[in-house]
Amino acid sequence: MKDTVAVFPGTFDPFTRGHEDLVSRSAQIFGRVVVAVAASRKDALFSLDERIAIVTETMQPFANVEVFGFDCLLVDFVRQKGARFIVRGARTVADFEYETQMAVMNRKLYSDLETVFLPPTEEYRFLSATVVREIARHGGDISGLVSAPALSRLRRKF
């Protein structure tokens, strides 16, 4: 699948080591991975530009990873990027059920689209951006949970 394009969408507020792991694993499977940072989150801790910068700096070592913001239907963004695959992480049964519903609807809107589910590595199974924000908000150590670009920005926020 080295000649294929996959999109890894999310709000990434902040981009965690779990997200980073899924993108790096996807970069080994697909020829090009587009990290799609969603603009739609109204209560985001970081602005869209800040989230794009964090992801871009974090994924810099990967030549086949690109980062873009988007503010449209995901399937429209996927088409714009010439992709036929969406990559999603599924940590729990609830995640899988929700993501399956989204995959079915996305395929209904774009029949050539496939969603690939990657389970997290054991180390990041229970890691979420929400948990990272809460730990950071209360002064806890998040250094092992996010990259250096995210860590420095989180420290400035709190």
Output the pLDDT for position 3: 87
Decide if pLDDT at 109 tops 90.
Answer: yes
Query: pLDDT tens-digit profile of 63-98?
Result: 999 999 999 999 999 999 999 999 999 999 999 999
CB atoms within 10 A of CB 136: 22
Taking 80 as the threshold, does the pLDDT of residue 103 lie above it?
yes
The pLDDT score that the predictor gives to residue 106 is 98
Counted residue by residue, the chain has a size of 158
What contacts 66, CB < 8 A, 6 or more positions away? 32, 33, 34, 35
Model confidence, pTM:
0.95
Please write the tens of the pLDDT for every residue from 112-158: 999 999 999 999 999 999 999 999 999 999 999 999 999 999 999 99
**Which pLDDT belongs to residue 66?**
98
Residue 23: pLDDT over 80: yes
Q: Exposed, middle or buried: residue 89 (CB in 10 Å: 0-12, 13-18, 19+)?
A: buried
What is the model's pLDDT at position 145?
A: 98
pLDDT for the residue numbered 31: 97
- Could you give all domains of the chain from N- to C-terminal order, each with its CATH number? 5-157 (3.40.50.620)
Question: Is 66:37 a contact under the CB 8 Å cutoff?
Answer: no
Residue 39 has a pLDDT of 95
Q: In the prediction, which pLDDT does 137 show?
A: 95
1 pLDDT band, cuts 50/70/90, is confident
CB 4 within 8 A of CB 30: yes
